Amino acid sequence: MTSTLTIAAFVPSGDLEASLKHQLPQDHYSLTCCRSAPEFVRLMEHEHENLDCLVLGSSPDLPQLTASLREESLLLPALIIQADDSDPVCYQPAYHSAEVWSTPEDDLGSSITRAICRFLALNPTADKASETTAGRTKRLNQRLQGRLGYLGIYYKRDPYKFYRRLSSGEREAFVKQLEADYRQIILRYFTDDSSLTDHIDHFVNSAFCADMPVSKIVQIHMDLMDQFAKQLKMEGRREEILLDYRLTLIDVIAHLCEMYRRSIPQGS
């Protein structure tokens, strides 16, 4: 994460508070815990503009608490933690449609990040938000995007759009687009074109979001080099110049590796 996330927690039990303090280190999280629902509502009324996410312990007071928050249009990313570990999580929306349910044994840091990312994708009108709430949500989204950085990209990836899950036709179309994008990188790589970085970022982001195997990227490079080699041979030119473009492949793979390094949550 790029900076401290500010968390407000409704903790009906001391065990939940202890679990939060144990799992959420102070160098990454600023945590405020409230034992009673009225105390938590007061905290929200005064500090909601400064909060990044809520952690709500499941309890008999939770329905009234979330109802009060909705009535006041105080919508924030929310992680709801079930009260009894032995009971299955019911996953019934208690606060809004982007909330995340979890257990005390889960990685709460990753669960908080998932809650934030789901909220970032939430359309405020879907929860009948007022114009004021929509404005607050937009400002919150802008702040959270900066807080999450690359980590937000990781959680926004759609597993159903991963390369390995695409149909044969979808794979072919996706690879053709990547080939076209990579060709543009090759054509610009040894020039002073200021758009080169944008082209590399776009290519790497597409490959990352599709969970593209590195071997496929290498194959795209090799196929393109073969095409260029045939063209050079037809023109009676030497092919050795293509060896320099190994730097392009190394550069792209390095960018992709760095994206994975910076985005995948600790413990994944």
91-116: string of b/e by CB count within 10 Å (b at 16+)?
eeebbbebbbbbbbebebbbbbbbbb
Is the same domain home to 130 and 242?
Answer: no
Task: Say which CATH number the domain at 251 has.
Answer: 1.10.1240.30
Q: Is the whole model's pTM more than 0.85, yes or no?
A: no
Q: What is the pLDDT of residue 134?
A: 55
Q: Is the same domain home to 27 and 148?
A: yes
Which of 104, 132, 156 is at the close of a domain? 156
Give the end of a domain, one of 126, 156, 186. Answer: 156
- Whether residue 143 is contained in a domain is answered as yes
Torsion of CA 61, 67, 69, 70, to 10 degrees: 160
Name the nearest CA neighbour of 81 among 70, 72, 90: 90
How many C-beta neighbours within 10 Å does residue 16 have?
23
* Whether 21 and 139 share a structural domain: yes
CB 30 within 8 A of CB 55: no
Q: How many domains does the chain have?
A: 2
Question: What pLDDT sits at residue 10?
Answer: 95
Q: How many CA atoms lie within 13 A of 60 on its CB side?
A: 0
123 in a structural domain: yes
**Residue 11 neighbours by CB distance under 10 Å:** 23
149 and 169: one domain?
no
What three-state secondary structure class fits 160?
A: helix
Give the burial class of 140: count Cβ atoms within 10 A of its Cβ; 0-12 exposed, 13-18 middle, 19 or more buried: buried
Query: 168-189 and 214-234 are packed helices; what angle lies between their axes, rounded to 10 degrees?
Result: 60
Q: Which two tokens stand for residue 74?
A: 């105080």
| Shared domain check, 245 and 183 | yes
| Percent of the chain residues past pLDDT 90, beyond the cut | 37
Regarding whether 143 and 14 lie in a shared domain, the answer is yes
Q: Are residues 17 and 120 in the same domain?
A: yes
Per-residue confidence (pLDDT) for residue 141, from 0 to 100: 65
pLDDT of residue 131: 46
Domain CATH number, residue 96: 3.40.50.2300
Beta carbons of 75 and 96 less than 8 angstroms apart? yes
What pLDDT, on a 0 to 100 scale, did the predictor assign at position 235? 87
Residue 211 carries which side chain, given as an amino acid letter?
D
101 and 117 housed in the same domain: yes
Give the domain extent around 219: 159-263
Residue 268 domain flag: no
Ordered mean pLDDT values, 10 residues apiece, the chain (268 residues): 77 89 87 93 89 91 89 88 59 77 85 81 50 57 63 68 92 95 94 90 91 93 94 87 91 86 59
Q: Which helix (H) or strand (E) holds 9?
A: strand 5-10
Task: Judge if 18 and 125 occupy the same domain.
Answer: yes
Residues 24, 142, single domain; the answer is yes
Asked if 19 and 111 sit in the same domain, the reply is: yes
Please report the pLDDT score of residue 228 as a whole number. 93
Q: Of the residues 106, 137, 156, which one is the last residue of a structural domain?
A: 156
pLDDT at 239: 84
Q: Using CA atoms in the order 247, 251, 257, 258, what is the torsion angle rounded to 10 degrees?
A: 140
Q: Are residues 99 and 55 in the same domain?
A: yes
Helices (H), 150-245: 150-156, 168-189, 196-209, 214-234
Angle, nearest 10°, between helix axes 108-120 and 14-23? 90
Distance of alpha carbon 194 from the chain centroid: 28
